[in-house]
Amino acid sequence: MLDEPFSMLEPLQTKALKEFLLKISETKGIIITDHYYTDVLDITTKNIILKDGKSIEIHSIEDLKKNEYLSKN
């Protein structure tokens, strides 16, 4: 379980972390919580937000907007 692993990283560190997480995800399950949703969406196979006590599966940035995680602008 990783809590905000992309916070405060430089772009090269972010790239290296993504590569590392993709590599270990071949044999391990990983849970990530992070506000850097584009980095998360780049590497995950399943995304869920919790809203009003319900879990909602997310496939794209449009889903985040539709479920009011992001503004629609």
Q: Is residue 7 situated within a structural domain?
A: yes
| pLDDT given for residue 72 in this prediction | 83
Q: Is residue 72 situated within a structural domain?
A: no
Give Cβ neighbours of residue 52 (< 8 Å, ≥ 6 apart).
none
Distance between alpha carbon 66 and the CA centroid of its chain, in Å?
A: 17
Q: Is residue 14 situated within a structural domain?
A: yes
Tell me the percentage of the chain whose pLDDT exceeds 70: 100
| pLDDT given for residue 30 in this prediction | 96
Q: Is residue 73 situated within a structural domain?
A: no
Range of the domain at 62: 2-66
Q: Is residue 46 situated within a structural domain?
A: yes
pLDDT band at 36 (very low <50, low <70, confident <90, very high): very high
| pLDDT given for residue 28 in this prediction | 96
Domains identified in the chain, total number: 1
